[in-house]
Structures are given as C-alpha cells and as structure tokens.
Structure 1
C-alpha cells in the first residue's frame, strides 16, 4: 500500500513538473509573442515589407555603371528567377519548402534536441527558407543564454505570418531579394551582376549553383577569394539537385566538370567604370532629391530607396576613353620623370614639397595637437608601411609621409570630356587617372588656363566684326602695355611675312592672335565668349588672346559645340531622368541648347574650315601622321605659359572632345615644350580614342561622319594664299617701330629711318 502511494506521489510530482514546465514554456512563448523580448512585426506590417534598396545609375543604353547603397540590394520579380535557381535552393536549403507552412516539423525536432537541449549551434538548426527570410529581414538580437531560443521562436512566429500573407512564389522572391551574399552584397540580382556580370534570368545552372552554395557561409564560399572551396560547395549543390530528382546523375556530373569562371564587377564608388562621373551624379542627384518628396511626404534617400538614374553616358565610349587616357598618361609620365631626372621639382623644390605636406590630414592633425612645425616635420619623417599608387598596380613601401607626398606630386593628371554637340549629352567623362588615389575631378572641379584653345573665340569674334578670312597679319613681335611682348614658339618671325587668318590659327601663331584681338576689340571678344556659353570671369587684357583665362573642361566643350551645332552652344548635361523603383518618373531633364546662334553660319563654316586645317596641316597633324586617322576631324591644340597645361579639343560632326593634361600643383610644369605642348601631352588621348572607336562599327555614325562642304560663297572668301611676303618697296619704305601698339598704328608718330635700317627691317630697342 505504501509502495503504491509512493509511486502515485512520484507520478503526481512528475505530472506537476510536466505541467509546470509546460506552463513556463507557454508563459515564455507568450512573453515572446506579445513582444516582451522585442516587438514582432504584425501581419499588416509584413504585408507592406520594404527593404533598403540600391539606387542604380544607368548608361544611355540601360547598362548598369554603378550603384549607391548601404547594402547592395536590387530586387527582382519571381518571373526573373530561372527554374534551376529555385530548384538549387530548395534541394540545398529546404527540400520540403512547397509542403510546409513555414516550419518544417521534422527539422523542428532536430532543432529542439540538438540546438536547444544540447546547445549545438553548429548543428544547422533546420531552418526553412521562410525562417531564413524572417532572419534576413529582421536579423537577430543578443538575448544572452536564451538568445537562440528567443530568436528562433520569433522567427517561427514571423514565418507563420509570412506564409499566411504571401504565396510560395512571393516568399521565394522575397528570400532571393534579401538573402546576403559575399562582398556586402544583398539579393540575387546584385550577386549575379557582381560575380557573373549578368542578370539573374540569364544565370546558367552552374552559376546558379555557385550562388546558392554561397548561402551556407558567404565568406568561406566566396568564389573570388576561395575559388576551390566555392567549386566544391557548388558540386554539393549539384549533387543535392540530383538526389531530389531535379537533375539526372549524368547532368550533375557534366555540370561538375565545368570550370568555375567569374566575370567579377565591383560596383564600389572607388572602382569600376566612370567613378568620377558617378560621384558627380551622386552629388547632383542628392541635391535634386532634396527638392522631392515620396507619397508619405518624406524625402527620397539615394542610398535606400532603390531609385533609377538614367544618364547620357555611352557605356562603350566610356570604357575606351578610360583606356585611351590611361595608356597615354602612363607613357607621358615616363617622359615627364625622365626629362627632369634628379632635378625634379617634387624632390628639389622645398617650397612646393612643404606646401603639399602642410595640406595633408596628417600635418593638420598634429598641428591641432599643438605641435610646432619643426616637431610635425620630425614626426612625418618616420617611416611606416604605406600603399602607393603605381600604374603597374598598388605597391606597399616602408616610407614616411613626406616621401609619400613627394611620390604623389610627381604624377601628371588629366581630364577628358566628350559630348554630343547637338544636345550637349555627355558621352564620356574621365575626371582623372585613378579615382581611388586622386579624388579631384578635373572635369567638374578644375579651372585651368586654356592656352591657345581660346584663340578660336578670338577669330570668331573677328569674323563677326567684319574681318575677312583673307586678312593678312605679320608674325612680327609687338610690345604692348606693361612691356608684354608675346612671341611664337616656332621660328616664323620674319617681320615682312604676312599670314592669313586660316594659316595663323592652324599654326597657332601667338603674335597674330593678339593682333587680331586688338583689331577686333577686347570687349567684342568677351561678348562673343559669353554668346558661346562661357560664364567664367574673363580678364580684359591683351593676353586673353593666348588663353590666360581659366576655364573648366565643361565650359570649353560647351563653347566648341557651337561650331557643329548651327552656331548654337550646348551646355553639357548627363542626367536625363530619375525614376523610383517601380519606374515612376520623379524628375526629367532636357538638353540646354542656346535658342539663338552665337555667330553666323558663314562664320561657323569659316571657323570649322580653319580648325580642319589645324588637323590637316597645322599643330594637330599628329592625328594624321602618328594615329593614321583619315576621317573628318577639326581641332585645336593649346599650351599654357611655361608648359603648365596641355590641351586639345577634337571635333567631328557628331562629337566634341576636350582633353586637359598637367600637374595638380600648378608650379610643376612640363620640363620642355617638346613634351608639354598640347599636341604631345593632350592630343594623343583623343587620337587613341578615335583609333579604338574606328575598330567598332557601333561608332560608325561618329567615325564615318563627314563635315558638310562650305558654301560656294564661303569657298570664294577662303580662296587666297596662305602667306605672302611684303614686296621690295614696301619693305624699303615701311616703318616698324613696334615698341607700342598705338605707335605702330599711328602715322603721326612714325619716325623716318635710314635707308639700310628700313631695308633690313631692324627694330628699335628701348
């Protein structure tokens, strides 16, 4: 009897304990369900799921050139998921996905015994795709010892609600759009574009298996870092597909024999195609979004709202322009360094180096700590491992901050912009040699003296003022106010040789450019520059004829578009429209073309003829002789004082391209004119680009386009000798006292000179 009572007592205690545990479990579950451990999203909130999405920047033909994001995620629809991708996921991650209601009961038992009772987190947990989706969307929190239980219960509740709201197809779409991949990439579309440079719908079986295999451990199975591990994991996925009947054994084995090949595209803001252009787009779009609000009355966010920014950039031309610029600047850099040898200013000019050091963040930080200049310089002479830019690839050296500054001072930089003259649409934009190391954008941020590329503006104003193209000017030097005496870089200084405007411009003769300016009037030239779209302040001095004005590449390109756009300048633009993720238009932008021509059609034809002569027989003949270009091209070279800046403007019927090359520190110029002249420093970028474009029929509308012939009356106006020498008696009786431009043009102030002095043309000296 006693034994029976004791057994009954133990049984009761067991039952009480069981009920107690059940009650505790129920209370614990209730505490989770009702949000005591953190709010669980309601069915209503789950029904309007919104995830942070990357904003895409697209080229003119829809190619992806970059993204702005916190997490690299780009959502797609279920219809874009290939069947073998879905099968690979189900076979590997959740074989009963289409049967359960969010929780796989068989897996749940394994979770209970292994993960909860045994605290074995490596056992896998048996999560379904829906449970993983809940984790992907809401993440996990640290709840200490109970963390794994609380997180899994929360995910189970969310998973059940998701299954009640969404179909299996919608759950798969949500999963693939939110699941994390390697390299800070979220969503299958972003991963597909990053690792294989193709859209998800175009993934092959093998590529799909690689991406699904990555889900088990995104870092460990990253095919970029660990290709062999990734291949082995891919093969596991393929065998799982065969195991569950999605592939035959033969198909799986054949797929396993396929090599792992990536076409990796990093959409980092520092890398990839057109980084300078993308950064400018980011700045502009951010400003535009500040003026717009979404349906909830909130401002759009470029990093989270999954916008689509359409641009004018030509994807193919941009690639070729970047390659052309890099190829040339690499070669030019070698010439530049070799020309200076051991006397390079970045090594020997103490002021240049010290000023550059003072601009560094390291110097400013030490200065804020209260160190003197001498103490700071001592600190900055200490060496440390430093990654440095090099054209052959980044190198790491044990050097000081001062040595690093000297290293970067030696590098030339460049800017290149190509636009469609009819609209100003930017086709290619290269702001520098490497955005990772040189953030300064020489297209949008820099203004440099433009040299002889300003001369066409002077000649245009002269023609508009009534000067005939066959007007002749002597190349003789003249001294102007303040004792300024411009000279020519060539030996064409015969005081009795006269050149027409076409020859003077095509040979870029400085002395004649200033004379044309003075006869036209500085005011008229400045007015013409404004008509051609130049907005920067221009100095009202004779030297402006030689390009002492500082302009941006964008301004110069816009001005030159007028020569192939019926005299109407087009302002460069590059954003055409901004859309939300559903394709709804948020903002649209149209070309900004001047409504009225800046000059007459006659002037336009004459100037274009002049600049064609620059290419055919003048300072830009390298395009013909070195680069073998036979298509219709006009252009103008430019070199500034002391060879600080090299310029070239190339013009075809449907493209205007501007190149600048020089040092970021204006005190460091090219060693000599042979290297620094625009024909050598800047022109080759255009020459190489055109060579590359001619090899691709895609660019035929540019490379095979021809200028219209000049009108008969214009041809008649241009029909004169390139140069002519003064006759004997004119040389004998002429007076050339050119100390002062006013003296030269005033008959009253001319002095009679001796017979031999007039005969041999000797100039008086002050």
Structure 2
C-alpha cells in the first residue's frame, strides 16, 4: 500500500511539474515572441521607419500630361512610371482576384494570418506561404528585396509582421489594397496598376475585364518571371490558376471559370516612354515649360519633403490644350504625306541622277562643310572627346562600319537594324525631309496639335518651336495687312504688274532691289490685290512694302507675337526672315480672330497629387488690327484656295494640276467646299515649303524641308509649298471633318457690320485674270 501511495504521489508530482513547466515554457514563449516583436519595433534588428513615414509613405509618382479631352498624353518619370488610382476606380473583379489568390482571409485578420502562418511552418511553405496583402505592402514600402541570408530573412519577416499590424491600424482595408496595387512594379515601366493596365492592355484599370485582371494579379507572384511578353504559356496557366481561386471562393461560378479559362490572352502591349506614344515633341517642349515654371514657383515648405517641385517624382497633373484626337490626326497626316514625298525624293536622288545626293551643292565646299558640322555635333564626337580621344582617333572612328538601328519609313516600327559607318549614317539622316505642324484655336489661343518632326526617337529636333526657317510668301500677308491698315486699300484695289525696283539707300537697302516674278515675266496689266496675293505676284508685294516701309511691317509682326529677328530691308516682303511655326500660327490667328492676337497657350492648369491647383493660365491678348482690316485679310487669303496655289484643296479647278502630283499627294484632290483662307510659301531653290491654312475656329501651319538648305527638290513642281506642305493640311482637315465631335468649323468667317473696306470684287474687271500655277522663287 505504502509503495502504491508513493508511486501515485510521484506521478502526481510529475504531472504538476509537467503542468508547471508547460506554463512556464508557454508563457516564456509568449513573452519571447512579444519581446522579439518589441525588439523589432525598437529597431534592434535594424532600423524601422518613423511613425510619420508610416502615416505618409513616400513613393515616387510620375507627373501626368492630360489632354483637353481627358486622355493621358504621356508622363514624366525617372525610374517609377506610377500614377495613383483610387480604390473606387479599381474594378471589383480585380480586388476579388487579388484577395482570392493572395489573401483569402484578408478581411478576417489584422495584418498577420495565424492559420496561414501555422500552415506555412508545419509544411515548410509547400502548401502556400503566409504573407498577407498587408505584409506584402510592408515589404514593398519599407523592407525591400528578400535577402538570401537566413538571419536577414528572419529579421525581414519580423519587420514585415510588425509593419503589417501598424499599417492595419493606420489604414482601412480598402486603402491597403489600393496602396499595394499602386506600388507594385509590373516591369516594362509598368509601375502600379494604372501603368500596368495601360501598358499591357492599352486601357484604364476601370475597364479591365475579369480575365485581364487575372493576368495582372497572377503577375504579383513575380512580375519578372510571370511576364506575358517573356513566358506567355506560363502566364496563361497562372491566369487560369487565379480564375480557379476566384471560383473556389465563389467570386465567379464554375461555368464562368471554364469559359474564361478557355479565352486566349489578349495582350495589347503599349509601352510608355519619353520617346514613344503620342505628342512626343510637345511633351519635350512641355518639359522645358515645366522647368521654368518650377524655378518661378517655389514649393510650400513641408517637413521631410523636397524644397522644389519635381516633375519626375511629385505626381503633378498637367492639363494641356492638346486634343488627343486632333493630335493623332495631325501625326497621321504628317506620316502619310511625308512617306510618299520621301519616296519621290529618294527616286529623284539616286546616284545616277544626283552624284552629290542628297545634297544639291550651290557653293564650292558646301557639302564638305555640312558633313563636317554633322560629325562635330554628333553624340559620338562629344562622347569620344569627353573621354580624351584625339581628333584623329575620333575622325577615324567615323569610317568604321558599326551596327546600328536607323529610321526607315518602310518598316512597321520605323526602325531598321543595319551596319554602316557613322559617316554614312550622317548622310543617310540628312537625306530625310523634315516636317513641322501646329494647330491652334484662334479665339482662345489653345494649341490643339503639335508635331515637331517625323519620329522623336530618331529626330529629336523640334521644328515647331526650335526650328526657324525662311518663311517665303507666307510673310506676304503681313505686308498686305500693313498696306490695307495704313493706306486703307481694299482687296479689290489694283496695281500694275510691271518690273518694280526699290532704289539703293531707300528703306535701308544698300543696293537697288528688283524682285522677279516666279516665271520671270511681267504681264504689265492691272491686277487686284486679291489676285496678286493668291498668285504670289512679287512685283505687287514690292510696291506695297515700298509704300509703307519695312518698319511698319515689322511693327505689325511684333504686335502679332513674332519675336524673331527681322531686318528692316525691303526683301523681307518676300519672306527672307527666319521664323518658326509656333509664332507664325499665333500671328495668323489674329486674322481669323477679328484682329485680336491671342498668345498660343499649351497649359491651362497644374495640380499637385492631391488635386490642389498650383497654376491656372491667364490669356494674353492684344488688339492689333481692326475688324475691317482682319476680315479683308481673310478675304484676300481666301483667294489662295479659290484661284491661286491652294486650289488643289478643292475639287473644282483641281484637275488643272499636273498628274505628277498624284504620285506624292495623298488624298488629292481634297474636295473641300467650305470657306478656307490660307497662304503657301516657297523659299529660294525650294529649300522650304510652307502652308498656313485657316477656317474660322482653327489655324494651322505646316513646314517641310531638309535639315540643311542643300537638301531639296530640283524642280518647283515638287519643291513648292503647295506640293510639300499643303497636302499635310488637307489630310489633317479631312480627318478632322470626319469626326463631328471635334467641332471644326465649315462655315463662313464672321464679317464685321458696316465694314468700310470693300471685299466684293465681282464687279471689278481685271485685264489679266489667268491663274499663275507656280509659287514665287525668291531672288534677293
């Protein structure tokens, strides 16, 4: 009995000790876990973010460029092409796919999924990990890439747990999902869900279909590995796994799952970079505009933030006047015409036809100087010189064949891989005719389209704003405006077409100036100003500038916003001055706006990432001409498209143009019947071709020419503004009129009441009313 009692007592003591040690170990374990969490929170295992940063985590946000019709034209960013999306703008199916795949008990935990953690420990992660969405966000925001070192891996996981619980206390479940999807890097500059939706599917997140949402959620596992452009089959299977998870948790039915899994992935890869997309030249101009704005507008002082605005990091929203639809029409019009024009230029400049192609040498040594200048201004020259190479070494490198990608109109991507010497590549690029185009609403100054060149990736010089070229006869309306304004002439008044000379030492001209007409002939007849401008009769323009003087003409141009240097000599009447498309469009806008100049505007508003307005534009206007004079000028320029060099814009009269034009002019004849005012321009030797075209609510300027004046057509037939530039305007307006939503006017220009200037020339008899079918060739 005694022995049995001792055994029972011993067993009882052992059980008590077991219970005692169990609780000691259990409590010690709990306290150890708490202590480890506290030590992690205190930064013992490495620095933790301050509470303020946790409350307001800093992520780099791209600044967004927004068109007048609400489309994103592009973004400014360095490394992160990220734009925040509100939770309410995320499709419900995207959120469901995320929860079903990454964190099924998301709404039931406070940052740490206990069940998932125990399962992960028990099966060593073979049945799924334990990272909640909150933990994944913590890692993205504060922890970084997972280390391969075991100790660092454990401490990183501890930090994620601590930060996840803090995030859960600081934010709602919806805010955490929003932050996670906005911060994730989907590769190919697809930072965040908005960039990912646009780059992989060409649409906004709110428009994603279920199967598209499943693709992006599947990429969250590892966007580099599960990438549809690299491993299509793998991503397809991963998408179907996500759809299977959605069915498992009753977000979709089994029937829906089966039908969705059978669909092919419809990837619409639309890369977003500074050199690709729409309005690339305008976006580069805008970058300079924003740089100046930042210098003049200091950022409010906020602790922990930069002291200056940064367009690449601060997520500004820049609202512009560009209409994305008109911009696309403009870019398409330039491409369609220039591709055909370039083909004809190449045809006329084969080695058999032109031994100095693509140049036509006017002066001894001119081509050598052009090529040498091209070499010294190249990136290769600058880089090699910066690396200490001698000039002999640098020049030698330009004769070594090199692999390169060059521009090619015949390639779908406009890129062609080839091997050529850098010197040959300089000549190759100089063989391409360039183009520029800007379109503006004259009543508001809002610029609707801006095309600075052929392809920004290959031709980064902006010919709208940076490029100033001789304007030819497009300058003549300024001379006519000065004459009508000061001498009270009307479009119906006539002058004789005789050789006219301005004597030496008059109007600052050192020598006599006797300009010729394009064909070198003079009819000797009395012709109206309307006929003279429509057909670019140089002798009439010379008489007008002699009467008013160059200073009066220059004063009008300055009041019309032209800042370029214009010498006070008579030859400016025929367009000897170098001006850019931007200022020419602004100046012509005053004619269509009843004499009121409105400075072109491109940015209407700038907001910060929170929607606070930082800038709103104020129109800059100036009364330059009376309504009577402005309307008389519109009437004068209407003659250009009714009986002058612009008649090919209409069906009637278009048949008189030689069939050769059909080889290079897309859409000819254009068949416009509505009122159009305009002016063509051609400079000496056909080096520059211009067309300025106006309807009541849209003024557009087009320039075409070579990078160097030695690159041009030999004949006036191909090289005049009516052949090189006018077709771009015609194509652009055809496209605009097809879209009635654009509201481009096809009505009459507004005529002032009780005008004192007669514009009705129907009863005026001209002694010579034969059309002159060629443009003026300057002879200074």
Which residue number corresponds to residue 67 of structure 1? 75
453-462 vs 123-132, which moves further: 123-132
Shift of 1:38: 2.8
**Matched residue SS, 2:408:** coil
**Matched residue SS, 2:159:** helix
Which residue number corresponds to residue 757 of structure 1? none
Aligned pairs for 1:497-576 (under 5 A) are 497-576=525-604
Which residue number corresponds to residue 395 of structure 2? 377
The CA distance in 2 between the partners of 1:150 and 1:171, in whole Å, is: 23
Aligned pairs for 1:274-285 (under 5 A) are 274-285=279-290
Shift of 1:36: 3.6
Asked if residue 476 in structure 1 is aligned to residue 516 in structure 2, the reply is no
1:147-169 deviation line (CA, Å, top 9, x unaligned): 21121111111011112222222
Which residue number corresponds to residue 389 of structure 1? 407
Asked if residue 134 in structure 1 is aligned to residue 155 in structure 2, the reply is no
The CA distance in 2 between the partners of 1:307 and 1:256, in whole Å, is: 39
Which residue number corresponds to residue 464 of structure 1? 485
Shift of 1:258: 2.6
Shift of 1:532: 2.2
Which residue number corresponds to residue 175 of structure 1? 180
Aligned counterpart in structure 2 of residue 696 of structure 1, from 714, 739, 763: 739
Asked if residue 661 in structure 1 is aligned to residue 704 in structure 2, the reply is yes
Asked if residue 85 in structure 1 is aligned to residue 105 in structure 2, the reply is no
Aligned residues: 708
**Matched residue SS, 1:569:** strand
The CA distance in 2 between the partners of 1:591 and 1:635, in whole Å, is: 25
Aligned counterpart in structure 2 of residue 106 of structure 1, from 92, 106, 115: 115
1:190-214 deviation line (CA, Å, top 9, x unaligned): 2223333333223221121111111
**Matched residue SS, 1:499:** strand
Shift of 1:112: 4.2
**Matched residue SS, 1:98:** helix
Which residue number corresponds to residue 302 of structure 1? 311
Report the TM-score when normalising by structure 1.
0.87
The question of whether the paired residues in 1 share the 8 Å contact of 2:202 and 2:270 is answered with yes
The CA distance in 2 between the partners of 1:354 and 1:722, in whole Å, is: 56
The CA distance in 2 between the partners of 1:193 and 1:132, in whole Å, is: 23
Cα distance change of structure 1 residues 295 and 202 upon mapping to structure 2, 3 Å threshold: farther
221-230 vs 408-417, which moves further: 221-230
Asked if residue 364 in structure 1 is aligned to residue 372 in structure 2, the reply is no
Cα distance change of structure 1 residues 75 and 28 upon mapping to structure 2, 3 Å threshold: same
Structure 2 gap ranges (5+): 1-9, 362-366, 505-510, 655-668, 770-779
The CA distance in 2 between the partners of 1:620 and 1:311, in whole Å, is: 32
Cα distance change of structure 1 residues 712 and 351 upon mapping to structure 2, 3 Å threshold: closer
Aligned pairs for 1:616-631 (under 5 A) are 616-624=642-650, 625=654, 626-631=669-674
Aligned pairs for 1:198-347 (under 5 A) are 198-290=203-295, 291-294=297-300, 296=302, 298-342=307-351, 343=354, 344-346=356-358
Shift of 1:27: 7.5
Shift of 1:475: 3.9
The question of whether the paired residues in 2 share the 8 Å contact of 1:693 and 1:703 is answered with no
The question of whether the paired residues in 2 share the 8 Å contact of 1:475 and 1:509 is answered with no
The question of whether the paired residues in 2 share the 8 Å contact of 1:475 and 1:498 is answered with no
Shift of 1:114: 6.8
Shift of 1:295: 5.3
The CA distance in 2 between the partners of 1:123 and 1:353, in whole Å, is: 67
Shift of 1:444: 1.4
1:738-757 deviation line (CA, Å, top 9, x unaligned): xxx9xxxxxxxxxxxxxxxx
Aligned counterpart in structure 1 of residue 612 of structure 2, from 575, 580, 584: 584
Shift of 1:371: 4.7
Shift of 1:29: 5.9
412-421 vs 106-115, which moves further: 106-115
The question of whether the paired residues in 2 share the 8 Å contact of 1:458 and 1:516 is answered with yes
The CA distance in 1 between the partners of 2:243 and 2:298, in whole Å, is: 48
1:628-684 deviation line (CA, Å, top 9, x unaligned): 111211100001112111111000000000011111223323332222110011111
Shift of 1:265: 3.2
Shift of 1:382: 1.3
The CA distance in 2 between the partners of 1:582 and 1:28, in whole Å, is: 38
Asked if residue 186 in structure 1 is aligned to residue 194 in structure 2, the reply is no
704-713 vs 311-320, which moves further: 704-713
The question of whether the paired residues in 1 share the 8 Å contact of 2:500 and 2:542 is answered with no
The CA distance in 2 between the partners of 1:696 and 1:346, in whole Å, is: 39
Shift of 1:293: 1.4
1:192-240 deviation line (CA, Å, top 9, x unaligned): 2333333322322112111111111213333344444332221111111
The question of whether the paired residues in 2 share the 8 Å contact of 1:336 and 1:671 is answered with no
138-147 vs 633-642, which moves further: 138-147
The question of whether the paired residues in 1 share the 8 Å contact of 2:500 and 2:543 is answered with no
174-183 vs 680-689, which moves further: 174-183
The CA distance in 2 between the partners of 1:630 and 1:546, in whole Å, is: 29
Cα distance change of structure 1 residues 224 and 515 upon mapping to structure 2, 3 Å threshold: farther
1:326-366 deviation line (CA, Å, top 9, x unaligned): 11111111122222221244479333222211211212333
The question of whether the paired residues in 1 share the 8 Å contact of 2:186 and 2:219 is answered with yes
Asked if residue 165 in structure 1 is aligned to residue 178 in structure 2, the reply is no
**Matched residue SS, 2:736:** helix
Cα distance change of structure 1 residues 707 and 543 upon mapping to structure 2, 3 Å threshold: same
Note the aligned Cα RMSD (angstroms).
Answer: 2.9
The question of whether the paired residues in 2 share the 8 Å contact of 1:181 and 1:218 is answered with yes
532-541 vs 103-112, which moves further: 103-112
The CA distance in 2 between the partners of 1:66 and 1:370, in whole Å, is: 38
